[in-house]
Structure 1
């Protein structure tokens, strides 16, 4: 299959990521400058530095995305809703939240649906993009399908494969499975372990419309070199 995206279009699918516990101001300044320079879609950060990154990107089309309940998902629905509201107030225009994986493993789909409804409702009311992180490395295919079926009803903007902090990241099979279930109603974001162009290409061809990675620069530069060569 011929890869149809331009270098600019591929760059605009990248969520440029800095989610480390020891990240400091200089790191966020670098992240935002790189995202602006390369035309990435979003900077993916924890919720504390949202206001800093919003200020750094105030003249830029790059979005500021806050990770919520990150990376374990083990906070209450009310806590996640508060964190979402606070992040939006501070300037976030995208929200990536981690589901309560334990509740899903218990088979408590009503909880997963309620959590999704409450968070997505806050985002929709503020015209903010929402992404539901499944953390697929811990889930069976049946559990992945169950969450995607809920998403098809609730309609977040994206379902997302991984935090990048679990025991595994995005796989082509998971992206295909998730896309098959959600169809045209919800988009798919692949994240975790996407470090080169060939992996990014495989995820896009499997159905991903957004890529979460800290290797966006390498991926775009690699693709640019291939385009020039051809």
Structure 2
């Protein structure tokens, strides 16, 4: 079973996410300072605030992630590549790209592979995460997609844009099992309505490498309060010989 060592460890496997398209600069600044305070693996934010994030997080280990083709993924690959390169120029360390679901419907999986491969070649060492929207896919479709993404050498397969999420932990674990079977060399990030630390622990135990959550700050704060800030003084015990 996956073992969370402490709150610092828990934060290190969470990408604190805020993709609200109506967030003010003051609100984003507060969000980024929260990420810095707890030391998350990364933040995932909309492109507008990438330069601000790079500035605020400059003296931390928190990575800056943003999104391309979000949330529908139907742009052509040339547009996605251009968008990704612009984000990198502005300071993004991670690029999250929604696959083109039209290609899935038409069973043109080779086009998904081609897009992902060209994206990875264009951005080089920058982390590439491909979002597949697993909630609306059949298991056969998921298997075909992730096989292609592994061939394209993407860094992570991500379950969702956050707009469409599984109803139950068993759906999430089913997705993880499919990913591990058909793309065993590719890391997994789950973004599926995870809002409490017990749920986060279940998903990590199920095999996810990273969790993305809008509620990352609350997850880690509650865990810290429960496991590290609660002091219990044991009663004296007398042992018989």
Q: TM-score, normalised by structure 2?
A: 0.89
Contact kept, 8 Å, 2:94 with 2:128, in 1: the verdict is yes
Instruction: Tell me which of the two structures has the higher relative contact order, counting C-alpha pairs closer than 8 angstroms and 6 or more residues apart.
Output: 2
Q: 1:2, CA displacement in angstroms?
A: 6.1
Counterpart check, 1:166 vs 2:164: yes
Deviates more, 1:216-225 or 1:78-87: 216-225
Instruction: Give the structure 2 partner of residue 11 of structure 1.
Output: 11
Instruction: Give the structure 2 partner of residue 28 of structure 1.
Output: 28
Instruction: Give the structure 1 partner of residue 128 of structure 2.
Output: 130
Can you give the 5+ residue segments of structure 2 that lack an aligned partner in the other structure?
233-241
Contact kept, 8 Å, 2:15 with 2:44, in 1: the verdict is yes
* Bigger Cα Rg: 2
Counterpart check, 1:63 vs 2:63: yes
Moved runs in structure 1, 4+ residues, more than 6 A?
none
Instruction: Give the structure 2 partner of residue 85 of structure 1.
Output: 85
Classify 1:143/1:48 alpha carbon distance in 2 versus 1 (closer, same or farther; 3 Å). Answer: same
C-alpha distance after superposition, 1:121-178 (max 9, x if no partner): 1222xx2111010001111111111111112212211100001112547722212221
**1:63-212 to 2 correspondences below 5 Å:** 63-124=63-124, 127-166=125-164, 168=166, 171-183=172-184, 185-212=185-212
CA distance in 1, matches of 2:145, 2:5: 29
Deviates more, 1:34-43 or 1:162-171: 162-171
- How many residue pairs are counted as aligned between the two chains? 227
C-alpha distance after superposition, 1:162-210 (max 9, x if no partner): 0111254772221222123222x21000002100111111110111111
Classify 1:159/1:62 alpha carbon distance in 2 versus 1 (closer, same or farther; 3 Å). Answer: same
Contact kept, 8 Å, 1:46 with 1:70, in 2: the verdict is no
Q: Over the residues paired in the alignment, what is the CA RMSD in angstroms?
A: 1.7
Q: TM-score, normalised by structure 1?
A: 0.93
CA distance in 1, matches of 2:70, 2:110: 21
The 3-state SS of whatever aligns with 1:171 is: helix
Deviates more, 1:98-107 or 1:217-226: 217-226
Can you give the 5+ residue segments of structure 1 that lack an aligned partner in the other structure?
none
Instruction: Give the structure 1 partner of residue 237 of structure 2.
Output: none
Classify 1:182/1:226 alpha carbon distance in 2 versus 1 (closer, same or farther; 3 Å). Answer: farther
CA distance in 2, matches of 1:104, 1:212: 24
